[in-house]
Structure 1
Amino acid sequence: MAISLGLSCIISSSLSLVIMAAMQIFRLQLIETKLLTLFAGYLGSLIFIFILTAINNLQMSLFGKHYQSKYSEVIFSLIVAMFTSGLVHQVAVTSCLLFSLASLYFLNIISSKTYQSNNLIESKSSMKQTNVRKKK
């Protein structure tokens, strides 16, 4: 069962704030080992995903269901996530960037498979049929 855009925005915002607070509370524990420092970067990438989700859901509820995130929202979310990771450790910033870019890539693939227009698929198949006819 899907939840509404407004509720999803609130949940995403709340989860990002909880992760930010947890990273600050457990900052000393997160910098004890190299693996935990990388985990801090992973937590930063989760902040990136949740902030991007919250911004996109807010814009979709304001501007309509077909509104898509632009580069400015992605860059803003990435900067906030990297800044939060930077408050923990410098290596966490780099790992946050890498984890965030990987998650953005996979989110784009999932989104294109889920929300791709049927007209685009039909136009591609009709183009293939016309190319086959031209070759004959």
Structure 2
Amino acid sequence: MNRFILTIVASCALCFAGYQWHKSNQEKRIFVQDIKSRTDQYGFLDISDNLPESKRIVIVAPVNCPKAKIADYLATELNKQNIPTTRTNSYNFRQDLNNMSEREINQMIKRAEYVRKMAPPLVIVNGKIKSNPSIEAIKNEWELE
């Protein structure tokens, strides 16, 4: 009898673990699809309508980061071409959560976390963001607006 109960408990535990694994994989697939659907042909990701200075180019990299020189170079080159560019060492974005469902808020938080983990320099163009893009990609994205 004890063996039978132990077998049932073990079976239930395995079923629950399988369900949790499947649910986790499904959430990851949904997130990847969300990121892909928000990425345009130049690789820029639309994460929010309220990125800082969405009508100009913002290049973000910490001052003491090894990639800061790349960020400085990008800013200098774009400014030489009369493309309005701001170089900064931090960014933030705001979103009005009042009209959003819990699912939409969770997706937005996941996108923000995804962006936070991107390698610098981050370049924001027309309210979209990309990690370490080329000058050509930046110019192409800029011309879309």
- TM-score higher than 0.5 here? no
Kindly indicate which of the two structures has a greater share of residues assigned to strand. Answer: 2
- Which of the pair is proportionally richer in helix? 1
TM-score normalised over the length of structure 1: 0.29
